[in-house]
Structure 1
Amino acid sequence: MKKFMVAATTLALTGAWVAVAQAANVQGSSSNNAMLVIDKSDFPPFVNPLEKAGLRVKYENDKESGTIDIFGGPVTQVRNAAKANEAGAFFAKLPLLPIFNVAQVWYNDQNPTANVYSIRQLMKPPFGAWPEFGGLVVGQVKGTESGQGVYFGEWSKAVSTPTQSDSTDLHMTATDRIVWYVGDNAVTTMPTLVNAQYKVVGIHLTGTNDNLPHAPNLYGGTLTANYSAGHGAITGAISRGSHNVDFNGTAIFADGTFKKDQLIEGRFYNEAAALAGIYTGGAANEHIAFGGSRSN
Structure 2
Amino acid sequence: MKKSTLALAIMALVGSGAALAASPNVQGGTSNSSGVAVGSSNHGTFGGGNSGVALNGASTRIDLAGGPINGSNNAIAARGNGTILTPADMGMLPLPINVAQVWKDTESVNGAGSTYANFAVNSIRQITTLPIAPQFGGLVIGQVATNSSGAPASPVVPLAVGSGVYFGEWAPRATGTPPANSTNLNMTSADRTVWYVGDNAVTAMPTLVNAVYGVIGINQTGTDAAGNVLPGGLPGNQNFYTGKLTANYGSGTGSITGTIDRGSSSINFAGTSIGSNGTFNNGSTIEGRFYNNADALAGIYTGGASVADHVAFGGSKIAP
- Determine the C-alpha separation between the residues in 2 that align with 1:2 and 1:284: 40
Going from structure 1 to structure 2, the CA distance change for 1:251 and 1:212 (only over 3 Å counts) comes to: same
Q: How far does residue 83 in structure 1 lie from its aligned partner after superposition?
A: 4.7
SS at match of 2:281: strand
Moved more, 2-11 or 152-161: 2-11
Moved more, 182-191 or 110-119: 110-119
Q: Confirm or deny that 1:252 pairs with 2:246.
A: no
- Determine the C-alpha separation between the residues in 2 that align with 1:216 and 1:5: 37
Post-superposition Cα deviations, 1:252-281, rounded to whole Å, max 9, x if no partner, equal 000100001211000000000000000000
Q: How far does residue 3 in structure 1 lie from its aligned partner after superposition?
A: 3.0
Q: Confirm or deny that 1:275 pairs with 2:297.
A: yes
TM-score (norm 1): 0.91
Residue 179 of structure 2 corresponds to 164
Q: Percent identity?
A: 48
Going from structure 1 to structure 2, the CA distance change for 1:295 and 1:162 (only over 3 Å counts) comes to: farther
- Determine the C-alpha separation between the residues in 1 that align with 2:177 and 2:163: 34
Q: Which amino acid aligns with 1:227?
A: Y
Q: How far does residue 9 in structure 1 lie from its aligned partner after superposition?
A: 1.1
- Tell me if the contact between 2:50 and 2:63 (Cα under 8 Å) persists in the aligned partners: yes
- Determine the C-alpha separation between the residues in 2 that align with 1:146 and 1:109: 19
Residue 95 of structure 2 corresponds to 98
Moved more, 75-84 or 220-229: 75-84
Q: How does 1:169-184 map to 2 (within 5 A)?
A: 169-184=184-199
Q: How far does residue 100 in structure 1 lie from its aligned partner after superposition?
A: 0.8
Pick aligned residue for 1:133 from 132, 136, 140: 136
Q: Which amino acid aligns with 2:120?
A: N
TM-score (norm 2): 0.84
Gaps of 5+ in 1: none
Post-superposition Cα deviations, 1:30-73, rounded to whole Å, max 9, x if no partner, equal 00123321111011x223x21011101244xxxx2421001111
- Determine the C-alpha separation between the residues in 1 that align with 2:218 and 2:14: 27
- Tell me if the contact between 1:106 and 1:118 (Cα under 8 Å) persists in the aligned partners: yes
Residue 45 of structure 2 corresponds to 46
Gaps of 5+ in 2: 109-116, 147-158, 224-228
Q: How does 1:52-91 map to 2 (within 5 A)?
A: 52-59=50-57, 64-83=58-77, 87-88=81-82, 90-91=83-84
Residue 155 of structure 2 corresponds to none
Q: How far does residue 158 in structure 1 lie from its aligned partner after superposition?
A: 1.8
Pick aligned residue for 2:208 from 190, 193, 197: 193
Aligned length: 287
- Determine the C-alpha separation between the residues in 2 that align with 1:105 and 1:284: 24
Going from structure 1 to structure 2, the CA distance change for 1:126 and 1:22 (only over 3 Å counts) comes to: closer
Q: Which amino acid aligns with 2:85?
A: A
Give the superposed CA RMSD.
Answer: 2.0
Runs of 4+ in 1 over 4 A off after TM superposition: 83-87
SS at match of 1:113: strand
Moved more, 183-192 or 101-110: 101-110
Residue 145 of structure 2 corresponds to 142
Q: How far does residue 114 in structure 1 lie from its aligned partner after superposition?
A: 1.1
Q: Which amino acid aligns with 1:237?
A: T
Q: How far does residue 99 in structure 1 lie from its aligned partner after superposition?
A: 1.2
Q: How far does residue 110 in structure 1 lie from its aligned partner after superposition?
A: 4.5
